Structure 1
């Protein structure tokens, strides 16, 4: 029976958190060569390389990321034991690292993560950034999933997969009108100022196509690439905003905004982008089902 050498695991744990053999060796008061030999023994015992070298940097492999998660748990559990015996209990947690586009709806993110929120055995690490930044972190195994409104292109050079997890309608949303008259799409946009997603948004591309076919040139009040900002503008502006209702769900429920009408043939898709891994995070499996679908919050309004 193979027995894990916890001394080797402790050394690996320090190397991983320092990101450098040199710094880890200095911290542990060991020579780099001795530390390297101990790391190789751990890798041989586990049957996997735990790091890959990129220049002077040590980058965790997928197996290395899994090993680090377990090592963190092992040593945190030791700390927990001491605290429990001292009358200060602490619960061990499993970690899910989630990246989301900076412009992604916060309400959608909340709906996606809701099954795990509040669980005492789960720690959620949330990161935001550009698509390029997040995909780089995903490929380096520092994220488990990236949430986005666009799918990644599949080709032979990548092992990334995009799971469609929700498709939301898009509506004209605004403050309640004094006369109570309903707005009708697309004719309302001949005279009512509108706040739109930016030109690189799939919503905007689809909307511009519909308006062009109808011969309508909208009065554009604002173009915004951040859904959180578009939400705020919808609350303050006199015109209407083109948004998925889930973005302004709280305002719709409170009556601060109303959904004037749905926009036919225009939707926003939400994707969970993952990397093919031999050791997928089990928490992710709870969020994304086998066929890649996930029920999100029901349409607001």
Structure 2
């Protein structure tokens, strides 16, 4: 019966994280050919292909991603054990690496991570990227969690991702408080200028349907997919904006903006995405439990 060679697994882990044989070989003080041979032997013994070459970069196969998840947990715990044996104690401080979609509302992100800010035993890092890069980093276990407002499809044959709906924010028409429209839509909205999310967003599609119901044609002055930019335009343009009020909560509290009208039964969903893995940090499990909106459960 074949037994797992942890020496080979360690070599695989280092190369999988770096994505480069040459650099890892230098760090481990062995030749590149010897390192390559060790990994090929590991693949042969386990009867599985872990890497595929694309250009000059090694890319993990589907099995490679799965093996990396186990290897990461094994050697992370090993490093923790080594620290305990050397120092007689293990640091109780845990670290989370969180990826954030570049266009996501910063107010939502701040609200989501607030429990971490109140916990002195936890540190965290935030990285903003596009969706493809975020999922790649999550698959490579460079990230523990991804926050996004974009749902992802799940391949039933390979359920790599775990997606949790953590919040659902109602959409609303928001504008300057000094020009508050008190009539119900579309009365009083003639000749108003609008700043809207881009055409390919779910928010824009929902607003277009809402306008079509009332046979209303908005005068669109500007479009933006980035919630941070929509927030600035809402504050400075004097136009009406469609977005979740949480995005401009500070401006609403300061009396600069006001919610004119909520859109009926229209929401923006916020998701927390994790990768399937054997070991999940306790601090991450606790954070996800805290962030579930009770209304979503009910």
Q: With the length of structure 2 as denominator, give the TM-score of the two structures.
A: 0.75
Q: 1:101 to 1:126 in 2, by over 3 A?
A: same
Aligned-pair CA distance for 1:236: 0.5
Aligned-pair CA distance for 1:212: 0.8
Separation in 2, partners of 1:71, 1:119: 26
Structure 2 residue matching 1:190: 3-state secondary structure: coil
CA-atom RMSD, angstroms? Answer: 4.0
Q: In the alignment, which residue of structure 2 is the partner of 1:294?
A: 292
Aligned-pair CA distance for 1:12: 7.8
- Alignment length, in residue pairs? 284
Separation in 2, partners of 1:139, 1:187: 50
Establish whether residue 161 from structure 1 lines up as the match of residue 162 from structure 2. yes
Q: 1:244 to 1:152 in 2, by over 3 A?
A: same
Q: 1:151 to 1:15 in 2, by over 3 A?
A: closer
Q: In the alignment, which residue of structure 2 is the partner of 1:123?
A: 123
Separation in 2, partners of 1:73, 1:257: 50
Separation in 1, partners of 2:121, 2:13: 21
Aligned-pair CA distance for 1:218: 0.7
Separation in 2, partners of 1:120, 1:19: 34
Preserved contact between residue 116 and residue 122 of structure 1 (Cα < 8 Å): yes
Q: In the alignment, which residue of structure 2 is the partner of 1:197?
A: 197
The gaps in structure 1 that reach 5 residues or longer are: 1-5, 85-89, 297-301
Preserved contact between residue 62 and residue 141 of structure 1 (Cα < 8 Å): no
Q: In the alignment, which residue of structure 2 is the partner of 1:140?
A: 140
Q: In the alignment, which residue of structure 1 is the partner of 2:3?
A: none
Q: 1:123 to 1:8 in 2, by over 3 A?
A: farther
Correspondence list, 1:1-301, <5 A? 18-31=18-31, 52-55=50-53, 57=58, 61-62=65-66, 64-65=68-69, 67-68=71-72, 71=75, 93-159=93-159, 160-177=161-178, 182-289=182-289, 294-295=292-293
Q: With the length of structure 1 as denominator, give the TM-score of the two structures.
A: 0.75
Separation in 1, partners of 2:67, 2:78: 16
Q: 1:28 to 1:213 in 2, by over 3 A?
A: closer
Aligned-pair CA distance for 1:107: 0.8
Q: 1:30 to 1:131 in 2, by over 3 A?
A: closer
CA deviations 1:135-173 (Å, max 9, x no partner) are: 222233322222222221233354123221111111111
